[in-house]
Amino acid sequence: MPVRLYLNNVGKSFTMHLQGGSVIPVVDKVEFSVNAGECAVLGGPSGAGKSSILKMIYGNYRCDQGQILVTIGDEIINVAGAEPRRILKLREDTIGYVSQFLRTIPRVSAEDVVAEPLVAQGTSEEEAVEKARSLLTRLNVPERLWTLPPATFSGGEQQRVNIARGFIAHYPILLLDEPTASLDAANRAVVVRLVQEKKEQGVAMVGILHDQDVREEIADRIIDVTGFAAEVAA
Amino acid sequence: MNDTAEIYDQGEYNFAYLDEQTKRMIRRAILKGIAIPGYQVPFASREMPMPYGWGTGGVQVTASILGRDDCLKMIDQGSDDTTNAVSLRGFFEKTAGIRTTYETSEATVIQTRHRIPEKTLTEDQILVFQVPIPEPLRFLEPRETETRKMHALEDYGLMHVKLYEDIAKNGHIATTYAYPVKVNDRYVMDPSPTPKFDNPKIDEMAALQLYGAGREKRIYAIPPYTRVKSLDFEDYPFEVQKFDKPCGLCGAEDVYLDEVILDDRGGRMFVCSDSDFCEERRAAGHAGPMAADPAALQIGGNTQGETA
Amino acid sequence: MSLFQADEPLLQVHNVTRYYGDRVGCADVSFDLWPGEVLAIVGESGSGKTTLLNCLSTRLAPTAGAIEYRMRDGSMRNLYQLSEAERRLLMRTDWGFVHQNAADGLRMNVSAGANVGERLMAVGDRHYGNIRSTADAWLGRVEIDSDRIDDDPRSFSGGMRQRLQIARNLVTRPRLVFMDEPTGGLDVSVQARLLDLLRRLVADLGLSVVIVTHDLAVARLLSHRIMVMRHGNVIEAGLTDQVLDDPREPYSQLLVSSILQV
């Protein structure tokens, strides 16, 4: 299978100007690639930089050095140096992100929140909402909630709305940031099946999964992030 | 020449009150106004021996164009014998010693406050309007710098905002006087507070129209035979007032009528606002439905003797 | 249709500088704005963001620099070389300007309907019925009841006035809208509604927006891109979530860390 994502010598640190300019190194010389249809899971303890790596791939954090190369057809794009609008375009059609936390938008219903990425890709509103409802059904979100804005939902309900939103559209690259954290067994199983379906569609995935069982079921490969630990500045 | 004019010859007053340099300045403004129909030309308005609001603008324009052979008619709300008309006529009789008249067709210069005579004017006549507020955009845009720019750029959307408001609030364009017009397809102009009934007369008028605003220091003009269009909407076209009765005294239809209260018991009648026009018709034998009414007789009177 | 596919920028800003005497208003600002893009200019009071906005919107001539805009016919024009008539036409057709204080952007003494209809009349619409129905439709889009169409904005609440101002600006389908603290001075709940409305309208109409705000939450919700200004200079710029989640400059970090967490 072709390589979809390649991180080459990626390094990142934070400079905390409000704390006397102290530099907090995060990762250094990160290098790995992910193929289409493959799910690579980042391993290592909390604070090892897993989440930062995911955010750099999504363009949410900036890289200090290195390249994050994404293959789209014949084109290779370096996220680390891309223009803001190129990154926004990548987020629209190439890189998806499933996180635990839903950033709620006032007055938008749950089904519209879920359908939105699909609409952005050009699917008709009707068809997108149809698909959103079927995903919400699979994730056991009660039908009475679909037309309500998720701001008032319980944490678990919000999380499942967000998972549905993350999985609804097709992205060649999908980033999973603890999608199953604190889900019950039934819903965990649904997420596992959704991941399997994405694999079959040839989606390259990078995930952070603390849940041992889920990790074993979906990870094709574990990438140990501790190997990329940055030297603490003297 | 009467006493006062003679006093001038002894070094007291110039002909028609204003000094010749002032008249030149005003004539230049008038010429510029004629060259740019509807454009408000600033001029150095003088203090006149009468209060603002009495027609100081019109008086300065009239004073600047009067010649010794002119015959002046002075009307106020259509009438020759109301206070304003009488006073201003007296002013020019005194300071210029010229002939005055009540008869529209006899006059060469007609100064008017808010009416245009019913009788069609000719190329040999000049109509001078007294204007209180020359800027049609003023009520919506208080800044002079801005209204000047709007005129320069033909930026006239605001005029229609005013008409829109009229329709929205009254169901029709309720502006009945000072109804804005577009002159020669270019400048939007306030035809002074004449009733909109008179707007069609402004269009393609044979006589020269001069507008003078003394307090606001503006002169503008419409040369003879200039196209003047009243602003409107496609679905609310411009219309003049319609009166459902003819003049009570002379029976004229399609003229502008004034309501006159006859007594304390609700008696009233509608009569021609243009008193000269009404008299002429009555002299020619026309009679309205109330012509025989004793009260009406008092209103109509017989003013023939006064014009002498 | 993706908003990020246009291949030519709508607005190009080159080294725009404005001095007030010896004092710097804004210095050497350059950026491109693309069709459909929302750019937030953030920074504290006095940082030069409003000066920049006024320069961009031709309300204040820059001391140096150039601003080019792609006209509806596709040609790129230097804004400060437009004639006054062209500039005015641009401002009332292809552009909008939403003021913080709605009274600055509305005619307070004419009805809501006339406020919305004014631009239409200014570009030559002369059919009362059409103007009114268009105004009515726009009032609906900004969630103002039809039965308020003949009321003066004076009788409107702050939030309604702001929504009316937005409708008044959008009626000619502008492509670029400038906003100066559009939610400033409104109650939090009113603010949320207005933000949501703006977000939808911007997305539905594919508007390009330059919005000045000191409220990072507003920037986060509405904008694609952020420029952080301080002392008249742009000190950091980038994707909105990048700048807010991973701010680099000391001042940006201070701004972000100053947000109250709810």
| Interface confidence (ipTM) of the complex | 0.89
| A interface test, pick of C2, C4, C187, C221 with most A CB neighbours within 10 Å | C4
The helix (run of H) or strand (run of E) holding residue A43 is strand A39-43
Cβ distance of B160 and C121 shorter than 8 Å: yes
Alpha-carbon distances, residue B253 vs B209, B245, B249, B275 (angstroms): 25, 7, 11, 14
Residue A233 predicted with pLDDT over 50: no
**Whole-number pLDDT of residue B10:** 59
**Whole-number pLDDT of residue C209:** 97
Label residue B1 by pLDDT band (50, 70, 90). low
How large is the average pLDDT for residues B188-196?
93
Label residue B300 by pLDDT band (50, 70, 90). low
Q: What digits encode the pLDDT tens for the residues A213-230?
A: 899 999 999 999 888 887
Domain boundaries defined on chain B: 20-230, 242-295
Label residue B4 by pLDDT band (50, 70, 90). low
Enumerate the residues of chain A whose CB falls inside 8 A of the CB of residue C1: 122
Residue B185 predicted with pLDDT over 70: yes
CATH label of the domain that carries residue A192: 3.40.50.300
**Whole-number pLDDT of residue B6:** 58
Neighbours of chain B (3+ CB pairs under 8 A): C
**Whole-number pLDDT of residue A181:** 85
E strand segments, C34-84: 38-42, 64-70, 76-78
C-proximal residues of A, 176-215, CB under 8 Å: none
Q: Does A contact B via 3+ CB–CB distances below 8 Å? A: no
* CB neighbour list of residue C83: distance below 8 Å, 6 or more residues apart: none
Residue B11 predicted with pLDDT over 80: no
Question: What does chain A come to in residues?
Answer: 234
Answer whether B236 touches C (CB < 8 Å): yes
Tokens representing C94 are 């292809």
Q: Is residue A69 part of a domain?
A: yes
Higher-confidence position of A20 and B126:
B126
Which domain, by its residues, includes A84? Answer: 3-103+169-228
User: Following CA atoms B135, B140, B142, B145 in sequence, which dihedral angle do they give, to the nearest 10 degrees?
Assistant: -70
**Whole-number pLDDT of residue B308:** 31
Q: What digits encode the pLDDT tens for the residues C101-143?
A: 999 999 999 999 999 999 999 999 999 999 999 999 999 999 9
Label residue B307 by pLDDT band (50, 70, 90). very low
Residue C237 predicted with pLDDT over 70: yes
pTM for the whole thing?
Answer: 0.87
Catalytic residue among B55, B57, B214, B247: B247
Q: What digits encode the pLDDT tens for the residues A155-195?
A: 889 999 999 999 999 999 999 999 888 889 999 999 999 99
Q: What digits encode the pLDDT tens for the residues C41-82?
A: 999 888 999 999 999 999 999 999 999 999 999 999 999 999
- Mean per-residue pLDDT over chain A, rounded: 91
Residue C2 predicted with pLDDT over 60: no
Q: Is residue C186 part of a domain?
A: no
**How many B/C residue pairs have CB atoms within 8 Å?**
60
Q: Which of A14, A87, A105 sits opposite C239 (nearest CB)?
A: A87
Task: Please state, for a pLDDT cut of 70, what percent of chain A lies above it.
Answer: 97
Label residue B108 by pLDDT band (50, 70, 90). very high
Give B137 to chain C, closest Cα distance, Å. 13
Going by their DSSP bridges, the two strands A173-177 and A204-208 should be labelled as parallel
> Would you say A69 and A5 are in contact if contact means Cβ atoms under 8 Å apart?
yes
Q: What digits encode the pLDDT tens for the residues A44-66?
A: 888 889 999 999 999 999 999 99
Residue B247 annotated among the catalytic residues of the structure: yes
Give the rounded distance of the alpha carbon of C195 from its chain centre: 13
Label residue B292 by pLDDT band (50, 70, 90). confident
E strand segments, chain C: 11-20, 23-33, 38-42, 64-70, 76-78, 95-98, 176-180, 208-213, 225-230, 233-239
Distance CA A162, CA A151 (A): 12
Task: Please state, for a pLDDT cut of 90, what percent of chain B lies above it.
Answer: 74
Q: Which of C34, C225, C241 sits opposite A60 (nearest CB)?
A: C241
Tokens representing B179 are 């109804």
Which domain, by its residues, includes C146? Answer: 107-173
Which conformational region is residue A48 in: left (phi greater than 0), alpha (psi within -120 to 50 degrees), or beta? alpha
Pick the CATH number of B20-230 from 3.40.50.11310, 3.40.225.10, 3.40.30.10, 3.40.190.10: 3.40.50.11310
- Mean per-residue pLDDT over chain B, rounded: 90
Q: Is residue C126 part of a domain?
A: yes
Q: What digits encode the pLDDT tens for the residues B232-257?
A: 999 999 999 888 889 999 999 999 99
Distance CA A49, CA A26 (A): 6
- Domain tally, chain A: 1
**Whole-number pLDDT of residue C193:** 86
Cβ distance of B233 and C127 shorter than 8 Å: yes
Residue B278 annotated among the catalytic residues of the structure: yes
Question: What does chain C come to in residues?
Answer: 262
Task: Please state, for a pLDDT cut of 90, what percent of chain C lies above it.
Answer: 84
Label residue C146 by pLDDT band (50, 70, 90). very high
Residue B7 predicted with pLDDT over 70: no
**Whole-number pLDDT of residue C261:** 59
Higher-confidence position of A116 and B3:
A116
DSSP one-letter code for A143? G
Q: Which amino acid, one-letter code, is at C101? A: N
How large is the average pLDDT for residues C5-26?
92
Least confident of A105-109, B223-227, B239-243: A105-109
Give C241 to chain A, closest Cα distance, Å. 6
> Would you say B194 and B200 are in contact if contact means Cβ atoms under 8 Å apart?
no
How large is the average pLDDT for residues A13-27?
90
Task: Please state, for a pLDDT cut of 90, what percent of chain A lies above it.
Answer: 71
> Would you say B263 and B302 are in contact if contact means Cβ atoms under 8 Å apart?
no
Q: What digits encode the pLDDT tens for the residues B139-174?
A: 888 999 999 999 999 989 889 999 999 999 999 998
How large is the average pLDDT for residues C146-151?
96
Catalytic residue among B33, B78, B214, B250: B250
HEC string for chain B: CCHHHHHHHCCCCECCECCHHHHHHHHHHHHHHHHCCCCCEECCCCCCCCCCCCCHHHHHHHHHHCCCCCEEEEEECCECCCHHHHHHHHHHHHHCCCEECCCHHHCCEEEEECCCCCCCCCCCCEEEEECCCCCCCCCCCCCHHHHHHHHHCCCCHHHHHHHHHHHHHHCCCCCCECCCEEECCCEEECCCCCEHHHHHHHCCCCCEEEEEECCCCEEEEECCCCCEEECCECCECCCCCCCCCCCCCCCCCCCCEEEEECCCCCCEEEEECCHHHHHHHHHCCCCCCCCCCHHHHHHHCCCHHHHC
Q: Which residues pair with B268 in a beta bridge?
A: B261
Q: Does A contact C via 3+ CB–CB distances below 8 Å? A: yes
Residue B212 predicted with pLDDT over 90: yes
Answer whether A106 touches C (CB < 8 Å): yes
**Other CB atoms within 10 Å distance of the CB of residue C98:** 23
* CB neighbour list of residue B248: distance below 8 Å, 6 or more residues apart: B269, B270, B271, B288, B289, B290, B291, B293, B296
Q: Which of C37, C195, C199 sits opposite A85 (nearest CB)?
A: C37
Give B157 to chain C, closest Cα distance, Å. 4
Residue B71 annotated among the catalytic residues of the structure: no
Label residue C5 by pLDDT band (50, 70, 90). low
- Domain tally, chain C: 1
